[in-house]
Amino acid sequence: MLRDLIAAIEQDREPFASGRDGRDCLEMIHATWASHRQGARVHLPLDSREHPLERWRREEG
State residue 32's pLDDT score: 94
Are residues 15 and 31 in contact, defined by beta-carbon separation less than 8 angstroms? no
State residue 21's pLDDT score: 92
Give me the amino acid identity at 6: I
Query: Distance between CA atoms of 30 and 28, rounded to whole angstroms?
Result: 5
State residue 41's pLDDT score: 96
State residue 8's pLDDT score: 95
Domain boundaries, the chain: 2-60
Are residues 35 and 41 in contact, defined by beta-carbon separation less than 8 angstroms? yes
State residue 55's pLDDT score: 82
pLDDT tens figures, 5-56: 999 999 999 999 988 999 999 999 999 998 998 899 999 999 888 888 888 8
